[in-house]
Amino acid sequence: MALEDAKTQVDQSFTRETSRGLSYENTFGGALSFARRRYTKDLAGVDVAITGVPFDQSVTNRPGTRLGPRAIREASALQVFDPPYGWDGYDPLTSLSIVDYGDLAFDYAKVAEFPEALTAHIRGILESGAATITLGGDHYISLPILKAYAEKFGPVALVQFDAHSDTWMDDDMSRIDHGTMFYKAVKLGLIDVEHSVQVGIRTENPDTLGITTIDAREVHLEGPVKTAIKIKEIVGDAPAYMSFDIDALDPAFAPGTGTPVWGGLTSAQAAIMLRDLAGINMLGGDVVEVSPPFDTTGATAIAGAHVAMEMLCLWGWTRR
């Protein structure tokens, strides 16, 4: 069946007639969307909308994450032939109505207008009844997204994979910075601090604002299975938002990022933890800080595409 479909399927980003099902279009050809999902602005009956935010104007080191959504979409073409491995046959691409909603439109020369543009973009998707998995872009984008989620659901538990806490003090709410947005999110009451957790941290920031930190060393020593159990105990049944900064992975596995830090998670550790988090009440998520210009192999984008697929599994697992 797959071979027969491969002979006829092409440009499924535009030609597919359903938002469900695997795809057998040649990996190396055709128009690219995330996981060969259909590009559409029609969200009627849609469970999850994939959307890109090509923004990197708040970085403190290397730029290039504006190219992240495009690279993640390209890498995701490798994942559409079979159900994701390790989920007992569960296939979100078939079980869920998933579309590619395209990217956020914004004026790159009016940076001050960007946060509200993004919040409105996500708000519109949530109002339709769909959830979002957002492809970044630098990590600042999580703050405007969290504002939209908190408007609808109230404060959410943050499950953050990252090398950096991104809670450095910054009381100037007009500043657009990818290292202080979770400080602002806590101060604005967007995050349920008691049930939030940061995983993979390996840079110094003494003030955790009450968020539990599981640093990279602890993951290495305790292992990913025990770490996932600990994360689930912290989050409990709280509505959760997951933000995965690709620099949570060691530069050996994800060199294409703006602020790489040695001693990070392996891709295998990340995969085990994400799969073992099945059952958390995940509302939405984002994958950020993929910077393709710094990775000639494409490995970083491949990791980002896998993380996004695991997020789809996590979102759908409790809604089967």
Residues 8, 10, 12, 16: is their CA dihedral positive or negative? negative
Determine if residue 164 is labeled as part of a ligand binding site: yes
d(C-alpha 117, C-alpha 94), whole Å: 32
User: CB–CB of 303/256 below 8 Å?
Assistant: no
Phi, psi (rounded to 5 degrees) for 319: -120, 20
Determine if residue 166 is labeled as part of a ligand binding site: yes
Determine if residue 139 is labeled as part of a ligand binding site: yes
For the chain, the first-to-last Cα distance in angstroms comes to 26
Record the tokens describing residue 32, joined without a space: 């690219």
Determine if residue 88 is labeled as part of a ligand binding site: no
A 10 A CB-CB count for 91 gives 17
Determine if residue 11 is labeled as part of a ligand binding site: no
Determine if residue 245 is labeled as part of a ligand binding site: yes
Record the tokens describing residue 65, joined without a space: 């994450």
What number of helices (H) and strands (E) belong to the chain?
A: 11, 8
Record the tokens describing residue 283, joined without a space: 């509302």
User: CB–CB of 15/8 below 8 Å?
Assistant: no
**Residues annotated as binding site for Mn(2+)?**
139, 162, 164, 166, 245, 247
**Residues annotated as binding site?**
139, 162, 164, 166, 245, 247
